[in-house]
Amino acid sequence: MKDEKVLAYCNLFGVLGAIPYLLELDEAARELVRGKTLSLGFAVKDGPHGTLAFSDGRAEMRRGTKGCSIKLYFPSCKAFNALIDGKGMPIPLSGFWHIGFLLGGFTKLTDLLSAYLRPSPEALAEKAFHERSTTLMLHVIAGAIAEIGNHDPVGRFSASNIVDGTVRIGIGDAVAIGIRAEEHHLTALHEPPAESLSEMCFNSMQTARDLFDGRLNALAAVGTGRVRVAGMISQVDNVNRILDRVSVYLA
């Protein structure tokens, strides 16, 4: 079972929250927003509020909608989730003169993001695309782990057992993120953490991909050496329990 409100948090801060990293990885994505300085605010009734701010080919996701250029309102979490599925439309509350960007460049940007997050087998066969897609999935998963740990009942139970500190999740030497726990509240860190209490590292992009796509069991991968864990194992164990919930919400 999945909750529409938890899904909305995952979609906003996990899926749309990956757009800044898409811009870092893909030149075509950067071209869509190059020269643009504006921000899209997403206000979901009884759900998440966040702003995606663009500045000349770069972007940042932040909490709240204060000061956004365009404010988009959604009457329910279900309505927002429908937008992410390509089946709904937002209600603009302000910034109507920026609608052209919303319907043009931003829509193309989200289409490109979808191509990376739900790729065809043919696209994944190309090494550079495979690496960008897997890296973006890691960022989406990081955001979703934090939101599920903070809002989903099952996730909150696992988060309640995580001691304060950071879990580092890496893919070889290529990329790493962190999940920071502070008084059982989780925060996604979208860069290699300066220090960590524990670590889970995939030995390759292919290993990470197989695990993300459900073709590999994490415990079995540890046994074969494809996944390495170190430090405070209870931290990794509880983060892995939340990771299992990510597939429920974002499969």
Return the percentage of the chain with pLDDT > 70, whole number.
100
pLDDT digits (tens, 9 = 90+) for 26-47: 999 999 999 999 999 999 999 9
**Domains of the chain in sequence order:** 4-118 (3.30.1050.10), 122-250 (3.30.1050.10)
Judged against a pLDDT cut of 90, whether residue 217 lies above it is answered with no
pLDDT digits (tens, 9 = 90+) for 126-154: 999 999 999 999 999 999 999 999 999 99
Q: What number is the average pLDDT over the span 60-77?
A: 95
Judged against a pLDDT cut of 80, whether residue 1 lies above it is answered with no
Judged against a pLDDT cut of 80, whether residue 194 lies above it is answered with yes
For the chain, the DSSP string reads ---HHHHHHHIIIIIGGGHHHHHHH-HHHHHHHTT-EEEEEEEETTS-EEEEEEETTEEEEEES-TT-SEEEEESSHHHHHHHHTTS---EEEE-GGGHHHIIIIIHHHHHHHHHHHS--HHHHTSHHHHHHHHHHHHHHHHHHHHHHHHHSHHHHHHHTTPPSEEEEEEETTTEEEEEEEETTEEEEESS--S--SEEEEESSHHHHHHHHTTSS-HHHHHHHTSEEEEE-HHHHHHHHHHHHHHHHHH-
